[in-house]
Amino acid sequence: MNSFQKTVFATLIATFLLISLGSLVRTTGAGLGCPDWPKCWGTWLPPTTVQDLDPTYLSKNGYDSASFNSTKMWIEYANRLVGVAIGILVFATFLRAFRYKKTSPQIFYGAGLAFILVVFQGWLGGQVVESGLRPGIITLHMLLAVILLWALLYIAFKSLDERFKFELKRKNSKTLLRLATVLMAVTMVQLLLGSQVREGIDPFIADDGGLPRGEWLSQVGLFDHLHRFFSWFVLFVGSAMYWAAARFAPDTPIVLIVRYIFFCILFQILLGIILAYGDLPKIAQVLHLTLAILLICFEFVLLIIIKMRPSKR
C-alpha cells in the first residue's frame, strides 16, 4: 500500500476504536467525568485527586467536587485524546489525498468530507458535554461517526479499485445491489431502534444505585420490543443476501464479506439475548454497539464492491 492507503486504514482503525471507547463512556456513565470542554475540571491535564480541584473554578462554573470520579474522568479523557488523534490522522489523510485530485477526484473530495465531518464532530462533542449529555445529541454524535467511517471506507476501497478485477452479470449485479441496499437499510433502522433503547436506559446509568440493572429494559417499553422483533427481520434479509451471494457471485470477495456479515448478525442476536436475560452486563453492551458498527461497515464495503464492479451481459 502507498502512504495514502496506509494513512486512511490507520484512520479507519482509530475511528472504530473511538466508537468502541465512546460506547464504554456511555455504558459506564463517564460522559461527564470531565464536566467541561475542551478542558477537564478546568485544566488541560486532568487532576489526579479531588484535592487538586480549584475551588474558585468550581464555584465560578457551578461544579460540585462530590461528583469527581477519577475512573470516569480518565475514561472520558482517553476518549477525548483518541478523538484528537483521529483529527490529526484525518487531516493527514486529506493532505495525502491531493495526489488523487486530478486522477480520482472522488477520493480527494471524500477525504475533504471526512475532514469536515471530524471538525464538526469535535465541536459536537463539546455540545454533548455542555448539554449535560442530552440523548438526541449523543445519537447524532454516533451517527456522524458512522458517516465518517463510510467516507473513510469509500476512499480506502476506491484507492484499491484495481485490486478487484472480477466481473458480474448485469442481472446478478442488480439483484445483489438491491439486496445489499435493503440489508443496509434494515440494519440502520435496527441501529436507530437500539439507540432509542440505549437512551431509555441512560437515566438508570446516571442514577447509580437506583433501580437494579435487571429491571432497566422493562422500563423502556415499545422501542425495546421493536428492537428485539426487528433483529429477526435483519437475520431474514441477511440470509437472503447469503444465498444470493453464493449463487450469483461464487468465488469472489463478495461471498467472503457476506459471510462476515451473516456471522455478525448471528453474534449480535446472541449478544442481544445475553443483554435481555443476563442483567445487561457492561461488556456485552460495549460489544453490542461495537459489533453493530462493524456490521454496518461490512455492509457498506459490500455495497462499494458491488457498485464498483463492471457488469457484463
Helix (H, G, I), strand (E, B) or coil at 310: coil
For residue range 48-69, what is the model confidence (pLDDT) as tens digits? 888 888 888 888 888 888 888 8
> Which stretches of the chain are assigned E, i.e. beta strand?
168-169, 311-312
pLDDT at residue 92 tops 80? yes
Rounded mean pLDDT of the chain?
86
User: What DSSP letter does each residue of 50-79 carry, written as one string?
Assistant: GGGS-HHHHHHHT--GGG--HHHHHHHHHH
Strand partners, 229: none
Grid cell 442481544 in the structure block, residue: 272
Grid cell 488523534 in the structure block, residue: 85
Q: Which amino acid is at 48?
A: T
179 — pLDDT class (breaks 50, 70, 90): very high
- Cβ atoms of 214 and 280 within 8 Å: the answer is yes
pLDDT at residue 189 tops 70? yes
Cβ-based neighbours of 151, under 8 Å, separated by 6 or more = 110, 111, 113, 114, 117
For residue range 246-270, what is the model confidence (pLDDT) as tens digits? 988 888 888 999 999 999 999 999 9
Grid cell 446516571 in the structure block, residue: 206
d(CA 215, CA 219): 7
* Domain map (residue ranges) of the chain: 1-163, 166-313
Q: Which amino acid is at 147?
A: I
Q: What is the mean pLDDT of residues 160-181?
A: 77
Q: Alpha carbon of 52 to those of 14, 21, 37, 132: distances in Å?
A: 32, 26, 18, 23
Compute how many other C-beta atoms are within 10 angstroms of the C-beta atom of residue 214. 11
d(CA 120, CA 118): 5
Helix (H, G, I), strand (E, B) or coil at 168: strand
112 — pLDDT class (breaks 50, 70, 90): very high
- In the chain, the percentage of residues whose pLDDT exceeds 70 is 93
